Amino acid sequence: MKLEAKFEREVIDLSGFWHFKVDPEQRGEREEWYKASTFDWDKLYVPASWNEQSTEYTWYMGKAWYSRGFWVPKDWEDKLILIGFEGVNYRAKVWVNGQFLGEHEGGFTPFAFRTGHILNFGGENRVVVLVDDTLSTKTIPPGEGMNRTYFDFFHYGGIHRDVYLRSVPKLHIRDVTIRTGIKGGDGVVDVEAVVLNEEEKGASCDLVLQVLDEGMVVSEKTVKFTIAAHAEKSVKDRLIVKGAKFWSVGSPHLYLMRKKLTVGGSVKDALDTRFGIRTVKVERGRILLNGRPVFLKGFGRHEDFPILGKALTGAILRKDYGLMKEVGANSFRTSHYPYSRTHLDLADENGFLVILELPTVGIRTTVDLPWVTQKLRLGKGLDRLDDPEMIEKAKKMLREMINRDKNRPSVIMYSLFNEPSSDREDFRVFLKELRTETEKLDPTRPITFTSHTHLEDKALDLVDVLCHNFYFGWYQQCGNLEEAEKVLDETLEQLHRKYPEKPIIVSEFGADAVAGFHADPPEMWSEEYQAELIKTYWRVLTSKEYVVGGHIWNFADFRVGQSPRRTMLNRKGIFTRTRDPKLAVGVVKKLFTETPTYP
């Protein structure tokens, strides 16, 4: 447990070993385990999924309890205290010192609860978290069991992202929104700060806004305002950065927005936010970054690694970004959920273009593999796609996702679904609801979803960019790349004729390759076949001026549930699960480096 301080804010990191106990009989709440002070429980590390830390928990799905003690400084008594969780899969209930704080649903977005009123300042405290990763047709994503998921990745459970305790002043900056534009060679920076006053009296405040470039102030403004006691106020202004350095793939320049809240000349709170000055638009069938057409080269990814599960450490992420840069990638989609803050911090720093995706995968009324000769039934599917309960859950996750990542220059687009049953009319209701909510929260970024129904899709008119997942040559036209190439070409042409103004991204294409399996001539499951399929697809999509990107599925092999269609892993990665290269890596490097980011 370590204490980090900056300005008037301090953070205690609660990473480390926590007491852990599974609760398959659901006795814990009834027996008040949240009040326990002595433990004969196991210990697991947080952040990390529980599944691979012990063989005892590999296939466990259900309720489980976490508990740990922590110390709170005495001088925090006059501040607001929050206990925050970056990601807990799937449901979480939280107690501190035996008192219930609240609950949250959704495994990939952050949440926090106020806890100052029940803390022992200058002494020991205890946090207890009940995690329930039980799947149902009402969870997002949905499923019916560890091996009956409506999604094709392993269902990890547990506290898989950071947990922390944060103190903030009672008069503080609660939220900041930064939106940027370009005027000639200058950067236009619109700022909205939400200030919260929990003190017993009102205040006359100054909000000092500074844009810093490598420590030097390059633009500054001061906004004066008053705020009542126990009130919230939104403060807005515009700053101009003369001769700005624009954020781009080749030059991901980051500025720092420093906000200082003062009363009578005394600094009450301060907060730094990194941002980049850039614009993203869709015009005339192109995606424009800072007014220039851009071509996306990259991958679908997963947060998955042995033992850690969904928790990718900084060292793993450093390795991944290094490998992506080595092969010439410039983008990825956060398939199929928002990735961690650290994951996206590195995208901002390294100039990667990110399609940020909600965990709304598996939103289908039938869950099978319709492209095989005999349908493989994976689940019963959802009863309806316009279910108000599911729509409201998705909206909440959407709000949490956008609120966390709205200021990132790397995030250029929102993907609201992956492979839904978009050939149905009732899906349009769900998509319209989420699109409206997205535009209300952030009207600056294009909207998409990834389709697998293609020409039968009934919702493509509702998105700005068409994203399509194609598996010709793998699930269809098995082993026949010549036929796959022909069908891919024809399908793209028909989509373009139907929606001539919309740019197309081939958001998934690939083939499984068992590392070390070789065949001449190339056969399915061999490294050679995977490489040839990727070359075939790249040849087609780069020949179409209306195709503005291609993402290989997948960057690295990842764990899945048990079924006759998989051998422990989805092996479509061009790297193994432990990041060893397959034959396709050299092929992809040549294809990506020969394809310019700016056509």
Q: What is the mean pLDDT of the chain?
A: 95
Query: Do 511 and 373 belong together in one domain?
Result: yes
Query: Do 161 and 226 belong together in one domain?
Result: no
Per-residue pLDDT, averaged over 79-90, amounts to 96
Query: Do 401 and 359 belong together in one domain?
Result: yes
CA 577, 580, 582, 586 torsion: positive or negative?
positive
List the CATH number of the domain containing 205: 2.60.40.10
List the CATH number of the domain containing 515: 3.20.20.80
Query: What are the angstrom distances between the C-alpha of 574 and each of 141, 351, 383, 473, 527?
Result: 26, 22, 37, 17, 9
Query: Do 153 and 180 belong together in one domain?
Result: no
CA 170, 171, 175, 176 torsion: positive or negative?
negative
pLDDT digits (tens, 9 = 90+) for 99-143: 999 999 999 999 999 998 999 999 999 999 999 999 999 999 999
Domain boundary among 168, 195, 227: 168
* Residues 514 and 571: beta-carbon distance below 8 Å: yes
Residue-range definition of the domain harbouring residue 200: 171-275
> Catalytic one among 10, 357, 437, 508?
508
Domain boundary among 147, 168, 189: 168
Query: Do 431 and 514 belong together in one domain?
Result: yes
508 is catalytic: yes
**Burial grade of 383 (CB within 10 A; 0-12, 13-18, 19 or more):** exposed
Domain boundary among 275, 308, 340: 275
Compute, in degrees rounded to 10, the torsion defined by CA atoms 225, 231, 232, 234. Answer: -30
pLDDT grade for 564, boundaries at 50, 70 and 90: confident
Query: Do 228 and 127 belong together in one domain?
Result: no
Query: Do 137 and 202 belong together in one domain?
Result: no
105 is catalytic: no
Query: Do 186 and 298 belong together in one domain?
Result: no
Q: Is residue 599 a part of any domain in this protein? A: no
pLDDT digits (tens, 9 = 90+) for 44-69: 999 999 999 999 999 999 999 999 99
Q: Is residue 375 a part of any domain in this protein? A: yes
Helix pair angle (527-541, 481-498), 10° resolution: 30
Query: Do 512 and 391 belong together in one domain?
Result: yes
Identify the three-state secondary structure at position 393: helix
Tell me the pTM: 0.96
- Percentage of the chain lying above the pLDDT 90 cut: 92
Q: Is residue 21 a part of any domain in this protein? A: yes
* Residues 592 and 585: beta-carbon distance below 8 Å: no
Query: Do 57 and 136 belong together in one domain?
Result: yes
Q: Is residue 446 a part of any domain in this protein? A: yes
CA 405, 410, 411, 412 torsion: positive or negative?
positive
Position 379 scores a pLDDT of: 62
At residue 6, does pLDDT exceed 90? no
At residue 5, does pLDDT exceed 60? no
Query: Do 471 and 552 belong together in one domain?
Result: yes
Task: Specify the number of domains making up the chain.
Answer: 3
Q: Is residue 280 a part of any domain in this protein? A: no
Q: Is residue 282 a part of any domain in this protein? A: no
Q: Which of 279, 278, 261, 265 is nearest to 210 (CA)?
A: 261
Q: Which residues contact 1 (CB under 8 A, 6 or more apart)?
A: 12, 13, 14, 15, 16, 70, 71
Helix pair angle (341-350, 314-326), 10° resolution: 30
For tokens 């691979």, what's the residue? Answer: 52
List the CATH number of the domain containing 83: 2.60.120.260
pLDDT digits (tens, 9 = 90+) for 289-346: 999 999 999 999 999 999 999 999 999 999 999 999 999 999 999 999 999 999 999 9
In whole angstroms, give the CA distance from residue 328 to residue 333: 16
Query: Do 429 and 480 belong together in one domain?
Result: yes
> Catalytic one among 8, 86, 419, 485?
419
